[in-house]
């Protein structure tokens, strides 16, 4: 089972956003040594809970601090940006770190409506919902396949990192994203940690998939929330911090990830929130949970999202998952 990492750069209560970013670079080096396949950095705006508004900025330092692991966005929220600017930025990264850069793209705003509006360059009116057109333009730049009569045709051949380029992916948590990924022949990453009912969506993606030069067969990765510790009880205890933070998020409150003692008092004996899947436990418990998710989706890859208040506990969680699933042995082999 191929394992990867999704890092949202969580801000820990009592710490700072700057430290959260340094923690991301540190965790990436740890994941590289453990044999994880790729390391994706999320995009969220508005601060408070996470410190990752610019994956394209953080990818460079992470790639420079690692040796083997693929590094990319998980993802770039394309509606905020010019397709040309995204293509140029990731072309630079691919030129500097050939064969290691991923460009996973999403349609969501990654924030609340007010912050999304603040991100717009032109604020005379709301930005149009033209994601399919944006995506097609971006892929035309990356593939140097802009129609000859297109007004931007000459720009496609001028990307600075050529001949290197990033590997594009499409992110999703709903059926529409699967349709676009299949039509465009893109690998598809589904956010089970947002919507745990995605198995049929992944199946539909495979059934509709149109092979391309870039990708001859469908490929599915699944993002899963995981916390692993030496015992089930310790993992449940550590999970209380993320559970409290996400509970507050649903109420519209972006809070830093609270310490375990505060979070335990908040969540009490309540189970994890409705509509969200958590794989929490000792290594064997987590391994069984991950294998079940992989089988449910027919996944080629699992992308593990882990949030704890203690950075050392987060490092240890990824270490235990890698040992349980066999990533370390696979990397060494």
- Residues of 210-224 as b/e, b for ≥16 C-beta within 10 angstroms? eeeeebeebbbbbbb
Residue 272 is predicted with a pLDDT of 56
In this prediction, residues 119-144 reach a mean pLDDT of 87
Which residues are bridge partners to 330 per DSSP?
none
Q: Does the CA dihedral 148-150-154-158 come out positive or negative?
A: negative
% residues pLDDT > 70 (the chain): 95
How far is CA 272 from each of CA 74, 193, 278, rounded to the nearest angstrom? 24, 12, 7
Q: Which domain holds residue 52?
A: 2-332
The torsion angles phi and psi of 134, rounded to 5 degrees, stand at -60, -45
pLDDT for the residue numbered 275: 60
User: pTM score, two decimals?
Assistant: 0.93
How many Cα atoms are found within 13 Å in the side-chain-facing hemisphere of 117? Answer: 7
Whole-angstrom distance, CA of residue 329 vs CA of residue 1: 12
- pLDDT value, residue 175: 96
Nearest partner of 305 among 45, 64, 52, 89, judged by Cα: 52
Query: What pLDDT sits at residue 333?
Result: 33
| CATH code of 209's domain | 3.20.20.30
Model pLDDT for residues 161-206, shown as the tens digit of each residue: 999 999 999 999 999 999 999 999 999 999 999 999 999 999 999 9
Per-residue pLDDT at 328? 55
**What is the number of domains present in the chain?**
1
Which residue from 188, 210, 202, 216 is spatially nearest to 295, judged by alpha carbons? 202
pLDDT at residue 27 greater than cutoff 60: yes
In terms of Cα–Cα distance, which of 83, 33, 86 is closest to 59? 86
Q: What are phi and psi of 130, to 5 degrees?
A: -125, 40
CA distance 116 to 186: 26
Question: Distance (Å, rounded) from C-alpha 307 to C-alpha 10?
Answer: 7
């Amino acid at each position: 089972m191929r394992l990867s990492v999704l890092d949202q750069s969580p801000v820990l209560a009592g710490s700072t956003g700057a430290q959260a970013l340094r923690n991301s670079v540190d965790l990436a080096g740890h994941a590289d040594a453990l044999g994880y396949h790729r390391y994706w950095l999320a995009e969220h705006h508005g601060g408070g809970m996470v410190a990752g508004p610019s994956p394209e900025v953080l990818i460079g330092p992470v790639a420079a601090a690692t040796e083997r692991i693929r590094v990319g966005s998980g993802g770039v929220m394309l509606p905020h940006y010019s397709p040309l600017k995204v293509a140029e930025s990731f072309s630079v990264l691919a030129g500097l770190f050939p064969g290691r850069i991923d460009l996973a793209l999403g349609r969501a705003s990654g924030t609340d409506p007010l912050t999304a509006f603040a991100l717009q360059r032109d604020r005379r009116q709301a930005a149009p919902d033209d994601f399919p057109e944006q995506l097609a333009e971006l892929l035309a730049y990356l593939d140097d396949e802009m129609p000859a009569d297109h007004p931007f045709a000459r720009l496609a051949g001028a990307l600075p990192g050529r001949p290197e380029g990033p590997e594009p992916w499409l992110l999703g948590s709903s059926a529409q994203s699967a349709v676009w990924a299949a039509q465009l022949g893109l690998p598809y990453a589904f956010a089970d940690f947002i919507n745990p009912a995605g198995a049929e969506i992944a199946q539909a993606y495979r059934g509709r998939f149109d092979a391309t030069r870039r990708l001859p067969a469908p490929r599915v990765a699944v993002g899963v929330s995981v916390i692993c510790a030496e015992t089930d009880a310790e993992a449940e205890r550590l999970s209380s911090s993320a559970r409290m933070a996400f509970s507050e998020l649903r109420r519209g409150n972006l809070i830093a990830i609270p310490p375990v003692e505060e979070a335990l008092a908040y969540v009490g004996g309540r189970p994890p929130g409705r509509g969200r899947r958590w794989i929490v436990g000792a290594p064997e418990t987590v391994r069984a949970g991950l294998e079940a998710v992989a089988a449910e989706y027919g996944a080629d890859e699992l992308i593990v999202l882990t949030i704890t208040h203690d950075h050392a506990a987060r490092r240890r969680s990824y270490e235990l998952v890698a040992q349980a699933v066999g990533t370390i042995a696979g990397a060494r082999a």
